[in-house]
Structure 1
Amino acid sequence: MIFDEATSNVDTSSKIIINNLINNKLREKTVIAITHSSELLKYVDNIIFLNENKVTEYSSFNELLKENKDYKFAI
């Protein structure tokens, strides 16, 4: 399943529903989420970080926070 900015233009209750869907019902599924929401990123297994259309990092949320200054700035 692919979510492209799924929570960008919805109200708070809808964001909660979408996040719960991704975090619970789709937990064992492959989900590609294109997002600027750090809220969602905390719960995914891996993040691919793009900068100027190039993959610059591939790691977990916590690893990226520790090691990547561009990522910290982005969220």
Structure 2
Amino acid sequence: MDKFCYSCGAPLDMPDFKGISEDYCKFCIDEQGSIKPRDEIQAVVAEWLKTWQPNLNDKTALERAASYMKAMPAWAD
């Protein structure tokens, strides 16, 4: 079964994303294995969105990242 990061949705079965945690990718946790702050991860997700939607401005990218993150288990309301 495929496993995805609870914070950003990155595929954990890919070596580029796998870290020390079973539930989070190496980009969403710090050296101790704790999840990074929401705003840090939101900024990274926003930049990722802009890589495949280059016309997005920063404000819209951050808003879309916030919306996307609400679907992730770590950030669900």
TM-score (normalised: structure 1): 0.27
* Greater share of residues in strand: 1
* Greater share of residues in helix: 1
